Each structure stands twice: as structure tokens, then as C-alpha cells.
Structure 1
Amino acid sequence: MAGDRIAGRGDELDALGSFLTDIRSGSGRALVLRGEPGAGKSTLLRYAAAHAAPARVLTATGAEPESGMAFAALHQLLRPVVGLADALPDAQRDAVRAALGLAEPAAAQDRFLVSAGVLSLLTEAAATDGLLCVVDDFQWVDQASADALLFAARRFDGDGVGLLIGTRDVAAARQALRALPARDLGGVDAEGAREVLAARAGITPEPTVVELVTTATGGNPLALHEAAGLLTAEQLTGRAPLPDPLPVGHGVAGIYGEQIARLPEDTRTALLAAALAGRGDPRLIRAAATRLGADPDALYAAEAAGIVDLLSAEVRFRHPLIRAAVHAGATPAARRAAHRHLAALLEEADDRDRAARHRAEAATGPDEDVAAALAAAGERARARGGYADAAHTLARAAELTPDPGSKARRLKDTAAAAWLGGHPGRAQTALAAARDLAREPVLLAELAQIGGRFELSSGNAAEALRAFLAAAERAAAHTTETDGSHEQGDAATRRVVLALLADAAEAAAAIGDTEAAVRIGRQAVDLTGPTGSPLVPADAFLRDVLMGMGALYEGETRRGVPLLRRALAGLPDDGHDGRDGGDGHDGGDGENAAARLLWAAAAASLLGESDAAARYGARAGRVARVSGMVGTLPVVLENAATAERMNSGFALSAALSEEGLALARETGLDNSVAAHLANLAVCAAVRGREDDCRAYAHEALAIAIPHRLGLRAGVASYALGLLDLGLGRFDRAHERLTALTSAGPGAGHPVVVWGSTADRVEAAVAAGDLAAARAATDFLGRWSADAASPRSRALLARCEALAADDGDAIALLRQALDLLGEDDDQDATTYDRARTALLLGERLRRDRRTGDARSHLRQAAEAFHRMGAGPWERRARGELRAAGETTGAARPAALETLTAQELRIARLVAEGVSNRDVAARLFLSPRTVEYHLYKVYPKLGITSRAELARLLR
């Protein structure tokens, strides 16, 4: 950058110049400037802001007193552009407004939804000439703001948004910012130090003096600046000896402490009010100084001493070290008094959250009124999506709570908020403390449920199952002991028992433990409404599913099938998912609606209806995206990705799993990581990407086996078997797929055994083991005996054809194709139809009916090509050549040219979804969607949405 100069920082200025040039040209960039206090971070940030034109500049500075207030820094940063929120998708707009305190949240917000809204708002602000966001003192930025900004920074892509961060080099900030490029600011060299000293003192220092002072300060620019003000002209020019020791021996903070100590008492009191107030509000600070008995005009003396800048809208400390020195120099009693008066003033202004924090700082011991106010502030932060900051506030409320039972409940809430905020260690600590205090049965059950959820998300699923079942049994025993005496409490306990049983069923499903599923179903039978009253519809649905699943695993199909059918019949149609009051159950909120759809998918799987299971899973994904589910989106994306794979959408399935994998890793959901890796392995197997398949599968198994995740381990192992089958390694495929049938709980899963049956039959026949093929076909017949869908019957017919004599095979394969033709969603059956057509074509060719064979083989080859199923396409084209048809080299499948993000966007646009709604579903900004579409159209050789829809159909 030409023009004014910062001593000793030429390389940094060049880097900032390139950074700003990229933003003006439309690129998205992020950069962290990291260094010790006084290294010059703030100076460089101000320099960048001053030279950003014509790009717009937004600024925020972390303040230690507000480091626990959710979205405090974001409020500073976005205040000038909040009016642009109307251009955002509705869900993002509402989430951002609620986060910034401009509206009440309609429900508990997912932090990803808030973050997506921040990303959209920043891209809107960058629309004309680009945008530079400057965030200083990041080490004190509240967690909610930090999460949102870093989420956005990882997704800047052609938006012309730059995020420039200044932070001290502390462990927490280094960890949080590890994914962003950074520059470490060390001390300046002797030449830079000479420039700093000369600029401050107005004279040229003697080289030996420069060397000594540089060594004493470590080249820290702020320390050099302060030292120059403490040395005389004679000392700087070498005409008088330097003091021994140099006056920077206690550091810059020590120098500031001495300066403050020399100020008048009234000035120190007013400065204390300013240091504790947080936002620098002049009216609040002056009023607090007055109540503390000080003259508020005494701040002018601090300004004259270079301690603060008195701006029209803000009292700003010249450096954070000065604020720290003011705080350190005050007595504890003085600090408590200042907090007490600040709290009273903020209560008068109806700023409840900040008032509660000051009241807490003024407290000298447990106080229920103070704790209750602080807990309410924590709940408001949680409702806005600021989970980590809510956890911090709730933990402090628990500390101040005198009653052990109330303290345990607040610790429970702390644990839940910390978990959702991505702090599992803090969550476990709070949970352990709550367990030590809890005595009430319902609370004990709730604590056990939270602990089990933690374990199921990231730990050993078998341990989670044990915890859920034990808690359910204890709670159920309490219900029996108190039956009829306290109807309302009894109903609450029964709901807790049902929730624990549902969580236990989820854990059993993850493990593949059918005996546990039977046990859970039996326990669910005993759950009725209080004094015989019916359960609410949502509870009745869940109870039917649990009882039906248990009955089927127990072999009681006559009891289990009607229960599952009744549950599925009570679900709303596709048009009401996630709309309040529109689901016919208990309020219709998106989280509950999505959870019911996931249970419906599990029920359909047990009925042998993979197509229905896929539909329910896909619907759950749609509901989760538009409703802002709390902390569970990666888990829902597992099911949505699986649904797309089961519906022939391998490229989109992989794209969804890549998104889910990134989110799961960001939130520390290790078991969801395993799920997405396993699904990616299957998608890679179908597409013949051997190295990718093996890498995904082995990484998934490395998590799934020790965590007892039989479902994920089974899917990963299935992927390796499917890879061998597609590549023609039939003996190896037969061995791998057969091994799935003997893998016990924690290593395999009954649903995977069922889902892989058709591949197992094909591998067995190709390997020459007809007896194994017939046994597998018989198994599939028993499993799908109650299935009503054409696809399920078609799959059975295909397996029967492979295991049958040649005379019957062709008729059965034609029957399978006819059944697949009856499916309402022909796109969803593309893969099954192609596999069946390939087998039929092969049989016809062996019967020398080459003309008939060619049409089926051609259809199969074309379908495999569209899906990117390379190994299967090569097999079909090889059969075509053997049938006498010359086939040219296949062109690359169009969808293979798209990135995962482009594919997700293209698929939704092809379905008729607007750019605005695509942004809402994918946690992007509308402008990012437009940017990607501009790249998608040329890649696919199209120019319109209509062409895109035709292509993807």
C-alpha cells in the first residue's frame, strides 16, 4: 500500500494490500493477525479499514466485560446493515433479528441457522463494492458471535466479503481460528524500533540506545512508544545514561497502572465505571460515576492523560491493557459497588440481561433472586441460538443458587446448552455436578437422558443404551409407586419414561441390538395415560412405533405390523411438515416433526419398504432445514443422504453427506461423522471410486467398531462388498457380503443384512454358490412378507430370478421390471431398474436373444451413465458389445462435473425451489446461490432453469 507507513510492518502492509484487492475484485477472504498486547494488531486493522474504500467497512471490538453475552460483538458489527435483513430468506431473517435482540425468537434457534443468516447479511452488504469486516480483540468476542463469524468465513465464495481479525495469541483463540490463514506479529527490528522512538519523541535516537531499548521491549511497538515517552531527549540521544533498569521492566501494563494510580480519585472512580460498563455508553458511565459519588466530568482528566478517548457515542480506552489496569487497581469492594450501581441503572433501562450480569458480579454469596435473573438471561441467550454463552451464564446462575435441587436443574440446563454450543467437556462437568445434587426422580431421569444423548452422539452406543434403559426402569418404578396420587406429576414421569425408551430404541438401532429392541417394546406396552386417559397423539405415535418394532423383532408379526401401520397412517401428508399446528400432533414444530419422520423411516424399513423409508428420510431433511432444528441437523442429514442414495441419487447423496460430515466435525458429533463416512463409502462404491471408497469405509469403521455402532459398521462393510461386486471381484464380494449376516450387535445390523440381500444374492450366484443365493432369497421373502410397495416385491422377484432355473429367470426379471414401473416415483427406481435391466439383458443374451437383450442393456448403460455408476455402465456396455452393438466411449456424466455444493443447489433449483429458499435450505446466502448457478449452467451446457430441470430428471 502506497502512502502513510507503519514502522517495521512493510510485509504486513503488503499482505493487507493484497487482501483488500481481492475483496474489491469479488473474492472472499479471511485473515487473522495474531500477537502479544502492543504488537500493533489494532494499528494494522485501523490502517486496513482506512484504505478499504470503496468497499464498505464494518467493525467490532471484543470487550472482556461482555465476553459472555451472546451476540454482543455481532450486534456491534451488524448494526449499520441490519436493515438489509429483509432481503434474507425468512428463516434466516428471523434468526438474525432474534439473535440481535430485535425480535423474540419464535422457538429455540439452531446456531447454524443464525450463522447462515449472518453469512447472507454480510453478502448482501457486500453487493455493491465489497465488504470488509474488522474484528479486534477476538479473544474477548462472545462465543455465539465467534461461531457465526467463523461459520461465515469458511463459506465466503465469490461474495466480496473479507474478515480481518486481530487477536492475542492465547490458546482458546488459536484453537478457534485454526482453520483461517494467520500472520504472527512479532517485535519490530532495530530499524522499525528507531522509527517508533523517533516518531514518539520527535528526535532521532542514538543507535546504541535503539538497540538497548529494542532488546528491553522485545521490539513491542506499544512498549517502544511508551518507553520513548518516559525517556528524556538526552537519554534517547546518548548524551545521558539510560536508567537502570529501563522503565519498561514491569511491562506496558505496569506502566499504565502507575499512570492511573497518579490520577485524582474521582477520575479513577469514573474510569472504573467505564471499565466495567462494557459497551462504553457515555450516559450509563456518567450516571454510574455520579451514583458512586464521583464527578463524571473527571473523565476529562483521563482523556488529557491519554487514558481514554471521549467520543460522542462511546468512551473508548486507548488500549485494552489500560482497561485491565483500571480493573486491577480497584479494590474488590469498589468493583462490587460499581457493578451494583450499573445493574440498577440497566434495570431502569429495561436491559435485563446486562443488569443480571452486573448483579451477579456484585453478589457476595448465593442469592436466589440474582441467580434467577441470571438464569433467565441464559435462557434468552439459548433461545436466540447462543448456546455456549448461555452455558456460561447458566453455570454462573447455578453457582449463585442456594437450593440444591434448583442448582441441579440449572446445572442440567448448563450441560445441555454447553453440548449444543460445541463444548462437550464443559457439558460433562456440569452434568456430573448436577448428578451429585439431584434427588428428585424426574430430574434424575432427565440427567440420565442427557448423559445418554452425549454418549450416543460421540461415545459408546452400548453405554448409552445401558444408561437409557436403567433410567427408564427407575422412572417407571417411581411411577408405579406413586400411581394415582399425583396425576400431573405422574403424567410428566410417563412422558420422561417414553422419551427414555425412544432414546434407548435409537441406541439399540445404532448398535443392531434386536434383543434390546424387544425389551423396549415390552416396556412401552405398559405406558398409558394417567388414570387410563389416552396419550397425546405424538406420544401415541411413538409408543406404537416402539411396540411395533419390538414385536417384529420378537417374531410377532401379527401384532407388530398393525401397530406400525397405525403409526404411519397418523402422520401428516407431505404438505404440512414442520409448520406450526399443521401436523396433527403436538404443536407441529419442526424438530418434533422431523423426529417423527425419522421414526417413520425406521418403521417402514422394518416393514420391508425401502422406498417409503427413503421418502420419510428425505422429508425429515427438508423439515430440518427450514425449521432451524436445535443441534441435530448433521443427524437428520444422515437420513436425508441415505434416502437420496436409496432413491438413486448417488451424487446428491454424497453431496449431502459431505455437508453433514463437515457440520458433524464442526460440532464434535463423532458418531454422525461415522454415519456420513459410511454413506460416502457406498456412494463411492457405486461410482467405482475405489480409493475413496476404501478411505471412507476404513475411517468410518475406525469410529464405528469401538463405539459399537453396528449400523454404521455394517454400512461401511457393505460398501466394500458392493465395490468388489461392481468391479467384478465376485468371490471377494460374496465373502464380504456373507460376512454381514454373521456380524453381531456393534459390528453389523439386521437392516443392513436386509438391505444388502439383493447384492448378496447376485454375488453368490456369480461366485457359483447357488445354495447361498437361495438361502438369502428365502430370508428376503420372510423379511418383506408384509411389504406393500411395488419396489419391495420387485426386489424379491429379482432375487428369485437369480436363484431360479434359467427357464423361470427371464419371466421373473420381466415381472420385477413391471413392478418397478408401477412405482409412483420413477426417478427413485432408476438404479434398481438399471440393475434389473442389466441382469435381464445378460440372461437374454446368453439365450441368444440378442435383439431383445440389446434394448435392456442399452437402457441400463444409459441409466448408469446418468448416475455416474461407472463400473456398472462398463459392465452394461461390455454386454452390449457382446450382443453385437458397437458403443463409443461414454461421455463424462454431466453431474460428475459439478462440485458437491453446485449439485445441491442445482438439484433444488431443478425442483422449482427459488434462490431465496435454496439459500434457506442449504444455509447459504441468496447471492452465493446465484454465484454457483452462474458456474453450473456453462458446465452443463444449458442456459435456463427449465433445461436444468429436464437434465436432472
Structure 2
Amino acid sequence: MFAGGGGCLCVRVGQNRDMLRGRGTERAALEGLVGAARAGSSRVLVLRGEAGVGKSALLEHAVASGGEMRILRAGGVEPEAGLAFAALHQLLWPVTGLLDALPEPQRDAVRGALGLAAAPPDDARFLLSAGVLSLLTEAAADGGLLCVIDDFQWFDRASADAVLFAARRLRAEGVGLLLAVRDHAGVPVRDLPELRVGGLDEVSAAELLIERAAVAPAAPVLDELVALCGGNPLALGEVAGLLTPEQLTGRAALPDPLPIGAGISELFGRQVDGLPEPARRVLLVAAAEGTGDLGLVLDAAKRLGGDDPDVGPAESAGLVGVAGSSIRFRHPLVRSAVYAAADSGRRRAAHLALADALGGDLDRRAWHRAAASVGRDEEAAAELAASAGRARARGGYADAGAALARAADLTPDLAVRARRLTDAATASWLGGRPGQAETCLARARELADDPRLLAELAQLRGRFELCSGDAAEARRVFTEGAERARESDPGRALEMLADAAEAAGNVGDDEALVEIGRTAASFEGGDPFLRSVLVGIGAILAGDAGRGVPALRSALASADGLDQAARLMWASAAASHLGDIDASARHIIQAGRVARVSGMTGQLPVVLEFVATAERLSGRFTLSAAISDEGLALAREAGYTNSAAAHLANLAVIAAVRGRADDCERHAREALAIAIPHRVGLRASIATYALGLLDLTLGRFAAAHTRFESMVNAGPGAAHPISTWRSSPDRIEAAVGCGEAARPILTAYERWAANALTPQSQALVARCRALLAEDTNEAVAHYQEALRLHASGNGSPFEEARTSLLYGERLRRSHRGGDARGPLRAAMETFQRLGLDPWAARAHDELRASGESVARPEAVALNDLTPQELRIARLVAEGASNREVAARLFLSPRTVEYHLYKIYPKLGVSSRTELARLVAT
């Protein structure tokens, strides 16, 4: 299925000494990386430079520096850039014996991707990538690991994504990862440490020219050659060997243009032209084949006819090297020159001969058949589509998308072409190639006339928009598509209505949600649970609680046994519209757990948006921030722009409640820059709310009131009713603090909370009533009722502490300092435990003003943990093993062990039992 083991085909044969001349800085960087990996730290470095500048020689130097370390090597080869996981197979094959040490979901995903077992679950990209990280960590366990990857720009996308995922998460596993990539290559390595490999310095370049030239160059000629070659060692060496003594000594003019840069390919082309035809034929087939399989190359070259193929003259000329069963080009530009010099007919013939010679290697055969085709060719298209299906089954979505798009180009039948373009759009989107997905989608829509396919295309288009585009446009596409599919595909039509509701919810368009609910009630077929949720939400928003509440409660009654993340998220939405914050959070947190180990891991960034929000509303700010940090990284890797905005907005709220103004403003600004033009009102309103909450946290009540009012008064796409409802207690506090009217806010909040039977919701209503009570005794009664409700439920400790703070402030201002000290002390201790310094300071100041001299309590150690450490500590405290933690957080078990080694001393515990006890407090 894949090209076998060894290193890259396109390697330098000799001349490493020339390439390393004057490379002291680069060698030191590589030796430092190797030494760090040997000592147990992980380092990643990208070597970037033009072809021929010496990147491969530097990689060889790193390998030589590795000594007895375990070395894994791979090199991208252009003909295999569309074969999913071909490069990963090459890199990991020597260590597949370590797979049993991985957590089961990761192990199965890696085995499936490498063709060693059944395919992993659909869209298991993060499980696979985490499995690669775990496998590299296991391979580094005994003395460190050095991974050396050349020509990364030619890695297939599935392999590149998995390697980059691991690279961004390496910390202290003892892995050194080196990636060599050409200048201007479209590979997303910008966020990794990079070393620019430029030309040699003038002295080293001159030394190389003098050493390689037939005669000593004259000084002016030497200076001119150094300047013209730009220090490129390959260009310097080739030019020095080709110039005549007269040209070198200045007695004859230098060629114009000098054969460097693009001219190097022409130079190699002239060398190829001088070879006998049997040798040229071998070179052309080798250039088309790309992986260096000498037996396959000779077999295919023989099939082209003519004299028996002969590689000897090409080897004697130094254009290729033959070692064992491999044929290797001296340099990638040699291969490029050979391929470019052949006309299209000869290239197609070479690919066809390779396809015939490959036999049972169906994936490589399919690509060569496609390269040999002219015009429409259903047989070649079907082979390529089948190859795409195999890639998709292993999780190689981007490569499957490329194969399906090429198969569609070859497909004669318009209906089949539309089907393949649709599949290409889906695979490309899942593979993180939105541009290719949009192109395929547009082409498919021009061809499709089948109603069911048109419905599928509409749903795809809407989902693309919802994830990374205009949420209002997504709602329109879903709604219109659902109506068109109502008769031909009722099940999909209801799904599209649900998608439309999700989009409308993101926009903040309640009128659209009401209409979607009415439409869903008239639909037949599809999922009854989903219909009940849509009908119930629409009715609630229309003010018809008599119809909406029973529908939502009926849906929730069947939610306990749900085991799909998407359905759990709809259950959470139902609970939220009933005002049951606790149930909403419970369903969302369960959805996150399910998504991490299921086939929905590709949608995990979206699920984590709601998990992070649920944890924040429950008062677990540190954990919420840790989840949003993870979700933000995954959203950016997956290309889910709107999900990134959600995580940024949540991080802004958490920074606000902690009083971290710079972080709050930065996160909010980034979220708004995405959410406003994309009309994602839910995220825009949360980012704006964060800025108002920051003002409230810092005691700037008038500024907070102004900010909250701007959030409420903005229209759909910039505001959201849910944010308005949930922010009501904050808005009332800000209004009271600056002397503005707050009674209308309370009236609206009471209407919304009428269906919310949870203690948490009713506690907040009681607190708001207390704030607006003019009579102190009435206020005290409301505060006491609020605290009773807080204590009877499992709500947010932050909100309970705020109630205690406001209660104590009211008592102190009423000259009841003695009574105020109890609630103020409780508030201060809770705020301090949660790491909310501005709130703790406010309670502390109030406590001192009440007449009690008290020092601030010690900070809780949990607040000193990093986001990664906190996530691990929480799961371990819940009883998860290291392997289970690794599976759920897309880490390696050894990384979990490393973090626990740091967590225990930070928290002052020595066992899992002690850790669980501390986390539970």
C-alpha cells in the first residue's frame, strides 16, 4: 500500500562537507536540539531555505550528532503527496511494535491509518494525531528520539497534519523533531520555531568555488560568482565545475545568464540530454515514480519498449545513485529537470507503464493511471475514487478530497461527477482545506439535478458557512434547503431545520427560531427527539410556555440514555431554554466526554465551546479557561474560525472576572473581529459582555452599565437574547451601582426565570430583588432566601459568594457591621479560593470597614496549575488512569506522568487520594 521504509529518494550523494562549510550557527542549533532530546526535553525546529542550500546536509549532521539515539526518518516525495498517510507510514513503521502501549482509542486510530487494522471511527483526526504524539513519546523512552523529516512540503496532507499536531504539543518527552521545508512552500509551519538556512557567507562561498573550480578563479570573477550564486552551495559547485578555465580566469566572459536558480534545472537537463536513450528512459520513469523503487522503475522502463533499460550511464554521470534496491536522484532539481524535459506524451507513457507494473498496489496505481489519462476516463476515475474511499476510511480526508476532485475531472457521466465533487467537498472540509471544499461544492451545484443530492449540497454549504463564514447566511441556506428537501428527503430536511436553528441561535435571531419551531411541527419523518426540541424552543421564544415547556420536558425525559454528542448538545439547549442551568451544563459536559472518544472528535472544538461555557457558569473558571485554551488550539488547526471566536470570547470573560484587563481586552478584540463580520451574535455579545464584566469587576459601574446597554441594544448578529438574560444580574448590579433604573431589567428577568425551577436560577432572582429593595429588612429577607437557595443546589460558588458580598455590603451600610462580617468573610474566602483577586480585595476591604481586622487568606494551590496541569488533575481526581487521561486529552501517557510529577509538589500532595480530596474542596 505504501512505499517502504528508508529515507527520502531526493538526497544529496556526497558533497555534505561543501554544504556544511561555514554553518557554525546552524550546526550549533541542531546539536543543541539533539542534546536536549537526549536529556529528556523536547525541541522542534523547522529548517527553511531554497533548493540546494544545504538543508539535507544539515539533517545528516543532526543524525550523526545523535549517536546511539533512536532515529526515525522520512522524506516527502512529490508523487506520493496525494497518498494519505504514505509519509507517516514511512516515519513510524520502525516503531509500530510500540503501539500496544498507547491508549486504546489512539492505538486503533494509528493502526487504522497505517493499514494495520480496521479503519478508525469517522473523523477521528485528533485521536490519530494524539496517537502519533503518544507513539513518538514511547519511542523516546529509552535515551531520546530524533525525528528527521526532509522535503516536508511534499508530505501528504494527512501525514503533515498528524506530525504538526504532535510538534505543537511536544514538551518534555525527549523528542527532537527536525523538519526541512523549501522556501515558499504552502505548508502551515509558521507557528513552529524556524531556522532560516541561507546562502554561505562570502568567505565560505569563495573557498568552495576555489576548491571546485578547474583553475583558481581571478579575484573579480570570484567576487562576481559569489554574488550571482547568492551563496547557494549547489549553484556554486555546479557552476564552478562547468565554467571553462578562460571564463574562470577572466579571459572569456561569463555566460549570461549564469546557469543558477531556475537555470540549474536547465543545466541538469543538458546533462541528461547527453545520455543514451535507455538511460534517459530509466531516469524519466524514476522521476515519475518518485519513491526510488529500483525494481519497479526498471520493470516500467522495460514496458516502454526499446533497448533494455540501463541506469549505468546516469549513475556514472552523477545524476543518480544506486544502492541495493533503491535509485536516488542526486538532487530534487535533477528529478524536476528530467521530468520537465520530457514532452507530455512521454510522461503519460511513463505513468501508464508504472501503473501496469504496480499491479496490486491499488492506491499508487490509481494515481499513475490518472496521470496517464487524457480527457474523460471512467476506468481511471473509478480507481482514483476507490483510492479516495480507502484514504477517507483511514482518516486521510484532505488527501481523499484531492483524489475525488481529480476523479471528478476524469468522470464522463455528469451525475457521477456531481456525486464525486460533493464527496470531494465533504472530505476537503474535514481535512482542513476549506478553499478546495468551496471550489468542489460550487462545481457540484452546477451539475447536480437530483433533489436528494441538492439537499446534501445545501446542507454542506450551510455547514461550511456556520463553521467559518456568515452565520446568518448559513441560516438562510439551511432553511431554504430544508423546504426543498421536505418531500424527497424528510429525514435530512429535519436535520437541516435543526442546523438552521443552530445558525439562528448563533446569530441571535429569535424570530427565526420561532418560525423554525413552527415549521418543524409540520414536518413528518425524522428524529422525534429533535422535532420536540425545535418545537419547544420556538414555542418558548414565542411566549407560548404552555406548549413549549411540555415539549422540551418530553425531549429531556428521553435524554438520560443519550450517547451521541450532537444529541446531548440539543438536550443541553432544551434545558437552557427551560432555565435549567444545572441540567444544561450536565448534558454539555457529557457531550464533551463522548466527543473525545467517539467518531465526532473532528467536531470537538465546537463541543468544547459549550463545555467551557458550562464550566464557567458553574464557577469553575480555571478549568473553563483550560478547556477554551485547548478548544482554541483545535479550532485553529481544524479551520473552524467561528469556534475560535467562541473560545476567545469565553477566555475574555474569565480574564474579566479575574480582573486581567489586558488579557480580557485582547481576547475580546480578537473575538469581535471574527464574530461581527460573520454575524455570530452569540459570540459577539459574550465578548462585549466580557468587557462590561471587566468594568464591573474593577468597580467601574457607570462604564459597565454603558457596555451592558450596548450589548442589549445591538441587533441580531451583534447581540443575543441568551446573553441578555444571563447578564441580567450583572446589569442590575451595575445599574444600581451608578444610580440608573434597573426595575425593567428585573421584570424581564423574572419573566424568563419563571420556568427555571432550579435553586441557582431562583437564587439569582432573589438577589436581584434584594438589590432593588428600598427597605433594608426586605432586602435582608431576599438575600437570606438567595443564600438558602444557593446552599440547597449545586450551583456556582462564584455567584453564591457574590450574593454573600452584596448581602454583607448592605448590612454594613445599614450600620450592622457585626452581622455583615459572616457573609463578607465567606465571600472573601470563596473568591480567594477561586483565584478572583479583585473580588477578594473588595470583600476584604468591606470586612475591614465592618470593624474586623483580618489578613487575606492564602491562595489555593490549584490556581497555580497551568491549564494542562489542571485538566489532568481534574481527570485524575475523578479516578481516571493515566492512559484514560491521555486518551481524553489527546496526550501521551508519558506526558501525563510528566505533568503529574510536577502537579504533586505544586499542590503539596503525594497520592491520587490526596489529589482527589484537594480538588473536591
Structures share fold, TM-score greater than 0.5: yes
**Runs of 5+ unmatched residues, structure 2:** 1-15
- For residue 396 of structure 1, the aligned residue among 386, 406, 417 is 406
Query: Aligned-pair distance for 1:501?
Result: 0.6
> 2:691 aligned to 720, 734, 741, which one?
720
Matches of 1:446 and 1:729 in 2, distance apart? 51
Partner of residue 810, structure 1 = 780
- Please state if 1:854 is matched with 2:821: yes
Matched, 1:754 2:725: yes
Match of 1:98 among 101, 112, 131: 112
Change in CA separation of 1:76 and 1:870 when aligned onto 2, cut-off 3 Å: same
2:271 paired with 1:275: no
Counterpart in the other structure of 1:524: 520
Cα deviation for residue 545 of structure 1 reads 0.7
SS of equivalent residue, structure 1 residue 631: helix
Partner of 2:7: none
Distance 1:188 1:736 in 2: 57
Letter of the aligned partner of 2:140 in structure 1?
A: A
- Within the alignment, does 1:839 sit opposite 2:810 as a pair? no
Give me the whole-angstrom Cα distance separating, in 2, the residues matched to 1:465 and 1:200: 67
Q: 1:223 matched to which residue of 2?
A: 235
Inter-partner Cα distance in structure 2 for 1:933 and 1:131: 22
2:197 pairs with 171, 185, 192, which one?
185
1:654 pairs, out of 617, 625, 635, with 625
Shift of 1:548: 0.8
Equivalent residue, structure 2, for 1:49: 63
Q: Which amino acid aligns with 1:363?
A: S
Q: How far did 1:105 drift?
A: 1.5
Which residue identity is paired with 1:446? E
Q: Which structure 2 residues correspond to residues 134-533 of structure 1 after superposition, within 5 A? A: 134-173=148-187, 176-197=188-209, 200=212, 207=219, 210-211=222-223, 213-215=225-227, 217-230=229-242, 238=249, 248=259, 251-293=263-305, 298-346=310-358, 348-349=359-360, 351-476=361-486, 479=487, 490=488, 493-529=489-525
TM-score, length-normalised on structure 2? 0.93
What is the distance in 1 between the residues matched to 2:587 and 2:768? 26
Q: 2:576 maps to which residue?
A: 605
Q: Which amino acid aligns with 1:803?
A: L
For 1:108 and 1:544, locate their aligned partners in 2 and report how far apart those are by CA, in whole Å: 28
Q: Does 1:902 align with 2:843?
A: no
Structure 2 CA distance for partners of 1:841 and 1:279, relative to 1, 3 Å? same
Instruction: Indicate the residue corresponding to 2:889 in structure 1.
Output: 922
Q: Is the Cα–Cα contact under 8 Å of residues 512 and 745 in structure 1 kept in the other structure?
A: yes
Offset from partner CA, 1:650-698 (integer Å, 9 cap, x none)? 1111121122222223333222222112111211121121232223223
User: Distance in 1 between the 2:24 and 2:816 partners?
Assistant: 79
Deviations 1:178-219 (A, max 9, x none): 222333333334542454346556986665664454355443
1:820-860 CA distance string (max 9 Å, x none): 3332x4xx532222222223333444555545433322222
CA distance in structure 2 between the partners assigned to 1:930 and 1:571 by the alignment: 36
Alignment check: 8 A CA contact 2:302 2:309 kept: no
CA distance in 1, matches of 2:357, 2:82: 20
User: 206-215 or 76-85, which moves further after superposition?
Assistant: 206-215
- Whether the 8 Å contact between 2:844 and 2:856 is mirrored in structure 1 is no
Residues 642 and 653 in structure 1, CA contact (< 8 A), matched pair in contact too = yes
Instruction: Please name the residue that 2:529 is paired with.
Output: 541
Secondary structure in structure 2 of the residue aligned to 1:432: helix
**How many residue pairs get matched?**
902
Q: Cα RMSD between the aligned structures?
A: 2.6
866-875 or 289-298: bigger deviation? 289-298
| C-alpha distance in 1 between matches for 2:311 and 2:768 | 86
Answering whether residue 730 of structure 2 is matched by residue 730 of structure 1, we say no
What's 1:644 paired with? 615
Task: Report the CA distance between 1:400 and its aligned residue.
Answer: 0.7
Aligned to 1:580: none
Deviation of 1:124 (Å): 1.6
Alignment partner of 1:167: what SS? strand
Q: Does 1:107 align with 2:121?
A: yes
Distance in structure 2 (CA, Å) of the matches to 1:236 and 1:128 = 56
User: Is the aligned partner of 1:555 residue 2:543?
Assistant: yes
SS of the residue aligned with 2:178? strand
SS state of the match for residue 759, structure 1? helix
Cα distance in 2 for partners of 1:516, 1:238 equals: 82
Q: CA deviation at 1:401?
A: 1.1
Change (3 A) 1:237 1:450: closer
Secondary structure of residue in 2 paired with 1:627: coil
Distance 2:677 2:17 in 1: 60
Shift of the 36–106 alpha-carbon distance from structure 1 to 2, 3 Å rule, reads: closer
Note the alpha carbon deviations across 1:696-736, whole angstroms, 9 max, x for none.
22332233223222211221222222222222233333343
Asked if 1 retains the 8 angstrom alpha-carbon contact of 2:595 and 2:601, the reply is no
Determine if contact 2:811/2:819 at 8 Å carries over to the other structure. yes
Worse-matched range after superposition: 725-734 or 672-681: 725-734
**CA separation in 2, counterparts of 1:97 and 1:366?**
36
| Equivalent runs, 1:654-693 vs 2, <5 Å | 654-693=625-664
- 1:786 equivalent to 2:755? Answer yes
SS in 1 for 2:179: strand
1: CA distance, partners of 2:901 / 2:264: 53
Q: Which amino acid aligns with 2:767?
A: R
Question: What amino acid does structure 2 have at the position aligned with 1:161?
Answer: V
Structure 2 contact 120–395 (Cα < 8 Å) conserved: no
Q: Tell me the distance in 2 between the aligned counterparts of 1:744 and 1:728.
A: 28
Contact 1:441–1:475 under 8 Å retained in 2: yes
**What stretches of structure 1 of length at least 5 have no aligned partner?**
480-489, 530-534, 574-582
Residue 241 of structure 1 deviates from its aligned partner by 5.9
Q: Give distance in 2, aligned partners of 1:57 and 1:200.
A: 33
The structure 1 residue matched to 2:593, chosen from 599, 622, 644, is 622
Deviation at 1:228, TM superposition (A): 4.2
C-alpha distance in structure 2 between counterparts of 1:29 and 1:595, whole Å? 38
Q: Deviations over 1:210-236 (max 9, x none)?
A: 44543554432223333444457x669
Deviations 1:901-936 (A, max 9, x none): 222222222222222222222222222222222222
Q: Conserved in 1, the CA contact under 8 Å of 2:300 and 2:357?
A: yes
* Structure 1 residue 35, shift from structure 2 partner: 2.4
Shift of residue 772, structure 1, vs aligned partner: 2.3
CA contact (8 A) 1:61 1:141 kept: yes
Counterpart of 1:911 (choices 860, 863, 878) is 878
Q: Deviations over 1:89-134 (max 9, x none)?
A: 2222222222222222232233333222222211221222222211
3-state SS, counterpart of residue 608 of structure 1 = coil
Q: Deviations over 1:369-406 (max 9, x none)?
A: 22122122223223323222222111101101112222
After the TM superposition, which of the residue ranges 518-527 and 371-380 deviates more from structure 2? 371-380
Alignment-mate amino acid for residue 746 of structure 1: G
The aligned amino acid for 2:714 is: A
| Cα distance, 1:502 vs structure 2 | 0.9
Shift of 1:510: 0.7
Residue aligning to 1:60:
74
Q: Distance in 2 between matches of 1:445 and 1:622?
A: 31
1:841-882 Cα shifts (integer Å, max 9, x gaps): 334445555454333222221111111122221222223223
TM-aligned CA distance change 1:183 to 1:760, over 3 Å: closer
Over 3 Å counting, the alpha-carbon distance change for 1:4 and 1:219 in structure 2 is: closer
